[in-house]
């Protein structure tokens, strides 16, 4: 269990930090996108890109010294996150990215705007997460950021990756990027020249199925989890993660060994392997072919 589909040497440098907030900040910057490429079957209305793995590795390398300082002196990060009143992990992820982008000494971006609303008369057309000027390319970029957890079903094809809310699917999110979020040609009087989706989090394979071909757009440099409705044979080695630990777990085990299993994310002790448990009666009926 858990070993078949992993890359032989996954780099997970966020685990070297002690403070939970700094570990999560490091994850948000250093982790690769959950997709290595935009699926070929996706019909793009407005073209966008994904940063490659090397880009995020470089960003982490440039940020390491700052992260080490914050690990010892996290007050600035703690105060910044106090602005966030919501418990939604996606908004927390966006705050971490915002905190990093504000530090112009560690990356080539100049932050031109954040959460920019596009309004036409009484109608709100949409909102842009980040608009940046890239000093290396000389181009204005529009970034949309999302933290997602998708569970694969059936043949693992694009149509069958579901969020914990089954209306939230991977294909729906990618279409939303293309059709809605990246529709704008300009923002803040700047012409948008490149569009990037920052799509991080984790993908989960079904544990109860035999190994299947995994789509080539799945990024194997990001750890894959498993999901299922059965309690794994090694259940004595699992503990349940707190919700905020879904971004990155605390350095030390945060709860007792799992005995009564409920819907949620579990981590195998002494590893960084993850299992998303879902009670079978609570799973929605699968869509008809």
Residue 285: the pLDDT is 45
Q: Range of 169's domain?
A: 13-282
- Per the domain annotation, does 87 fall within a domain? yes
Structure token pair of residue 147: 């933290």
Running DSSP on this structure, what letter comes out for residue 73? -
In a domain, residue 288? The reply is no
Pull the structure tokens for residue 258.
């799992």
Number of domains composing the chain:
1
Q: For residue 67, what pLDDT is reported? A: 98
User: Would 142 be classed as within a structural domain?
Assistant: yes
Model pLDDT, residue 236: 85
Task: Specify which residues 267 forms β-bridges with.
Answer: 239, 274
**pLDDT tens digits for 223-254?**
999 999 999 888 889 999 999 999 999 999 99
Q: What is the pLDDT at residue 73?
A: 98
225 found inside a domain? yes
Phi, psi of 235 (to 5 degrees): -60, -25
The 3-state DSSP composition of the chain as helix, strand, coil percent (nearest 5) reads 30, 25, 45
Q: Is residue 2 part of a domain?
A: no
The residues facing 276 across adjacent strands are: 227, 265
Determine, yes or no, domain membership for 6.
no
Q: Could you tell me what percent of the chain has a pLDDT over 70?
A: 93
Strand partners, 109: 134
Is 193 domain-assigned?
A: yes
Q: In terms of Cα–Cα distance, which of 228, 171, 210 is closest to 35?
A: 171
pLDDT at residue number 21: 98
- Predicted TM-score (pTM) of the model is 0.94
Low-confidence residues of the chain, pLDDT below 70? 1-8, 210-211, 281-289
Predicted pLDDT of residue 211: 66
Q: Using CA atoms in the order 2, 7, 8, 12, what is the torsion angle rounded to 10 degrees?
A: -90
Residue 8, domain member (yes or no) = no
């Amino acid at each position: 269990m858990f070993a078949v589909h992993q890359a032989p040497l996954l780099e997970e440098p966020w685990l070297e930090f002690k403070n939970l907030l700094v570990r999560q900040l490091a994850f948000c910057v250093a982790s690769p996108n959950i997709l290595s490429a935009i699926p070929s079957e996706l019909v793009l209305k407005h073209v966008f890109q994904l940063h490659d793995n090397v880009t995020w590795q470089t960003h982490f390398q440039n940020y390491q010294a700052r992260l080490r300082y914050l690990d010892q002196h996290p007050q600035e990060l703690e105060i910044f996150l106090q602005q966030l009143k919501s418990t939604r992990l996606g908004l927390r992820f966006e705050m971490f990215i915002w905190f990093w982008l504000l530090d112009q000494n560690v990356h080539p971006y100049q932050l031109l705007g954040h959460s920019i609303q596009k309004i036409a008369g009484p109608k709100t057309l949409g909102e842009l997460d980040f608009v940046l000027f890239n000093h290396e390319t000389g181009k204005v970029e529009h970034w949309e950021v999302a933290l997602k957890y998708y569970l694969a079903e059936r043949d693992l094809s694009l149509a069958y990756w579901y969020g914990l809310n089954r209306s939230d699917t991977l294909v729906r999110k990618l279409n939303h990027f293309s059709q809605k979020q990246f529709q704008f040609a300009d923002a803040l009087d700047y012409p948008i020249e490149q569009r990037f989706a920052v799509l991080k989090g984790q993908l989960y394979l079904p544990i109860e199925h035999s190994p299947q071909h995994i789509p080539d757009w799945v990024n194997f440099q990001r750890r894959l989890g498993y999901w299922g409705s059965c309690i794994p044979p090694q259940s004595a080695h699992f503990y349940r993660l707190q919700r905020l630990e879904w971004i990155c777990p605390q350095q030390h085990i945060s709860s007792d060994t799992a005995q009564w299993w409920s819907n949620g994310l579990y981590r195998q002790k002494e590893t960084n392997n993850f299992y998303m448990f879902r009670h079978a009666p609570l799973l929605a009926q699968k869509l008809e072919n």
